[in-house]
Amino acid sequence: MNKTIRSKYVYYIYALFAVAIIVLIVERWYIGSIFLIAFLILYVYDVNEEKKIRKRRVQDILQLSLKVEKAGKDVFLHMPVGVILYNDAYEIEWVNPYVRRFFSEEEAWRNRSLAIIADDLIDVIESNKTETFVSLEHVQFKVLINRDIQALFLFDHTETAQLEQKYNEEKLVLATVYLDNYEEISRNMDDHLKSSYNSLITSTLNKWADDYQFYIKRTSQDRFFAVLTEKSLAALENSKFEILDEIRKLRIDKTQRNPITLSIGVGTGNLPPTELARLAESALDLALGRGGDQVAIRSETGKVRFYGGETNPMEKRTRVRARVISHALADLVRESDNVIIMGHKRPDMDSLGAALGVFNIARSNEVEGYIVFDDDDVTTGVAKVIEKIKEEEELWKYFIRPEEADAIYSSRSLIVVVDTNRPSLVVHEPLLYRAQQIVVIDHHRRAEEFIDNPTLVYIEPYASSTSELVTELIEYQPKKKKLSTIEATALLAGIIVDTKSFNLRTGSRTFDAASYLRMKGADSVLIQHFLKEDFETVIRRNRLLERAEMFTDDIAIVKADEDFYDQVIIAQTADKLLMIDRVKASFVVARLNENTIAISARSLGDINVQLIMEQLEGGGHLTNAATQLYDVTLDEAMEMLKEKITLYLEERK
């Protein structure tokens, strides 16, 4: 019974006693006096008991308050939660004992900057984030930030972090392993030798899988399927996939001249196994499109990481493939209303020659062809060819501007892209997104950025030029329309320019294509006229050469002055640097316009300039690559280039 209810009933009893005593005193005064005395004694006793009860209650409350205060203090000071108070200058003012044990002495934290907890902690607080993560003596904490009271609360996150790490390390990864040139190498082997070679390859890959703790299974003569985890993949990446070098060294006998090479496509991410398998196949296609002998790792975000690809790809094309592609292209052309041909921006001789070759294929199949060309984007390298084409009105009328291409396009138009596979480099990119049918013909290694959903892809990084590829396609056309002199000459000029007069990236098929073009009327004298340089071009190129310096014993770099230079002059300068004794790679950094800096890179094959340029959002070949940088100074571009070259050289070691 609480105090209020008790007091009410006591007062009722006292009132009854008082009435009874008054009645007794009136009727029987002596008996009433006795009851009065008893009542007074009872009242005094009750009042005293009430005081004792109140006193005990106050004492209990005080004792409980002390216990709660002590418990609160103990919890605040000794609970497994860190508390850090800081001031406006982000200096530590106080830490609770839980945090204090991570410092050897008080001077280690008192009035010190929060940066001693984590280098970026102050930046995190200023960025208005509510939480972050820090580590103290191998203990990982989740930090909650309270800016109102300028306090940090640290909760032990180590066990959770370990569980997250274990989960991430055990996530499924799928890979497809492909022997690039197995068929070519094993074709002439007898059964016993082929069996021994297969056994050697399989045992090497099985040992590799055992070393890195994953499963691998041969699914066909030239394919393997691998199941691994993120932890295994991280270890493989740390090793830079040395299996590429190990497989390349395998020889079954002395008669094997060419090494076998390996390409690997890896799919990774928080995806179902079916999606991971598709990513792995897509990554393998990308690795093969870049020349093989490398690893491509594709994540669910679409980002791709590459390893290897540092060797010059061997020629793996066959005339069978060229014939199949030629017939497939002819079928697509005949099913189209018209053929719209596009090269890359600022076209060079190879791009223009290949476009004219595809134009001939369209006419051979009795379909109108058009070449998208921007008069305002002509380089000095093709200006003379364009002048010659303009003299032939029947040919020039099929050269159209980008806006005209939009006008003649229909849902049954066939778009053919030559000498590039990157949509951002195509002369009229918007047309790609309308196209229903797209064909890509290129000799550059496939880039991470690639044209979406092409109908037919003919990418051969082993070819000298796109003009060489198109020439072979012309040879295998079911119906042939005679090549005009300018068409044959432009195709041959494209081959000559890209091979540096048959000195680089030249195979037997290159000379076969050149021979065919000469037979069809290519004019070598006219080519010499096309390739002649004006006096000013020679002077400007020599001015760049004078600024050359050796970055390492075998790498030459040119940083141009602040003048604007044509892309062709920049590329020619890089080529000329390779003619200097001991120079194995060259880089030229020059300004194209106010906002754009171009870098041209060349190599004799020992240094993979493509990998270096890809680090600067560019691309190309192992021996011929380039990039463009925007809104940076020449000095900044030079520093970026040197940094990437240094990184490449360190990784090679």
Handedness of CA 562, 566, 570, 573 (dihedral sign): negative
Q: For residues 357 and 435, give the distance between their C-alpha atoms in angstroms, rounded to a whole number.
A: 21
- Classified as helix, coil or strand, 30 is helix
Of the ranges 49-53, 72-76, 195-199, 203-207, the best mean pLDDT one = 203-207
Q: 65 phi and psi, to 5 degrees?
A: -60, -40
| Residue 167, H or E segment | helix 158-169
For the chain, give the percent of residues with pLDDT over 90. 41
**pLDDT score at 265:** 94
Q: For residues 514 and 375, give the distance between their C-alpha atoms in angstroms, rounded to a whole number.
A: 29
Asked if the 81-162 domain carries CATH number 3.30.450.20, the reply is yes
Residue of higher predicted confidence among 529 and 291: 529
Task: Say which amino acid occupies 323.
Answer: R
**pLDDT score at 123:** 87
Of 198-207, 509-518, 603-612, give the lowest mean pLDDT range: 603-612
**pLDDT score at 313:** 55
Cα pseudo-dihedral 95, 100, 103, 105, rounded to 10: 90
Mean pLDDT of 431-460: 87
Q: For residues 612 and 178, give the distance between their C-alpha atoms in angstroms, rounded to a whole number.
A: 25
Helical spans, DSSP H, in 187-270:
191-211, 230-238, 243-248
State the number of CA atoms in the 13 A half-sphere of 408 facing the CB.
22
**pLDDT score at 1:** 43
Per-residue pLDDT tens over the stretch 585-609: 999 999 998 899 999 999 988 888 9
* Single pTM value for the model: 0.63
pLDDT bin (cut points 50, 70, 90) of residue 611 is confident
Per-residue pLDDT tens over the stretch 11-45: 666 666 666 666 666 666 666 666 667 667 777 77
Answer yes or no: are the C-beta atoms of 351 and 416 closer than 8 Å: no
Question: Domain 319-531 belongs to what architecture?
Answer: Alpha-Beta Complex (3.90)
Q: Is the pLDDT of residue 2 over 70?
A: no
Mean pLDDT of 290-301: 86
**Cα 640 to chain centroid, rounded:** 18
Q: Which of 241, 288, 262 is nearest to 179 (CA)?
A: 262
CATH hierarchy code of domain 536-652 = 3.10.310.30
Q: For residues 71 and 65, give the distance between their C-alpha atoms in angstroms, rounded to a whole number.
A: 10
Per-residue pLDDT tens over the stretch 168-185: 889 999 999 999 888 878
Per-residue pLDDT tens over the stretch 327-365: 989 999 999 999 999 999 889 899 999 999 999 999 999
b/e per residue 200-233 (b: at least 16 CB within 10 A) = ebeebbeebbeebebebebeeebebbbbbbbbbb
Per-residue pLDDT tens over the stretch 364-409: 999 999 999 988 877 767 888 999 999 998 899 999 999 999 999 9
**pLDDT score at 623:** 83
Q: For residues 360 and 516, give the distance between their C-alpha atoms in angstroms, rounded to a whole number.
A: 15
Q: For residues 437 and 339, give the distance between their C-alpha atoms in angstroms, rounded to a whole number.
A: 10
CATH hierarchy code of domain 172-308 = 3.30.70.270
**pLDDT score at 304:** 83
Q: For residues 39 and 42, give the distance between their C-alpha atoms in angstroms, rounded to a whole number.
A: 5
Per-residue pLDDT tens over the stretch 298-333: 998 878 888 887 665 555 556 777 888 899 899 999
**pLDDT score at 650:** 87
**pLDDT score at 57:** 76
Of the ranges 101-110, 131-140, 243-252, 407-416, the best mean pLDDT one = 407-416
**pLDDT score at 224:** 96
Answer yes or no: are the C-beta atoms of 632 and 614 closer than 8 Å: no
Q: What is the DSSP string of 437-489?
A: EEEEEE-SPPPSS--SS-SEEEE-TTSS-HHHHHHHHHHT-SS-PPPPHHHHH
Q: For residues 372 and 334, give the distance between their C-alpha atoms in angstroms, rounded to a whole number.
A: 20
Q: Is the pLDDT of residue 5 over 50?
A: no
Mean pLDDT of 534-549: 90
Residue of higher predicted confidence among 11 and 509: 509
**pLDDT score at 398:** 94
**pLDDT score at 3:** 47
**pLDDT score at 4:** 45
Q: For residues 84 and 571, give the distance between their C-alpha atoms in angstroms, rounded to a whole number.
A: 59
Mean pLDDT of 549-570: 91
Q: For residues 108 and 488, give the distance between their C-alpha atoms in angstroms, rounded to a whole number.
A: 79
Give domain limits for the chain: 3-77, 81-162, 172-308, 319-531, 536-652
Mean pLDDT of the chain: 85
Answer yes or no: are the C-beta atoms of 248 and 156 closer than 8 Å: no
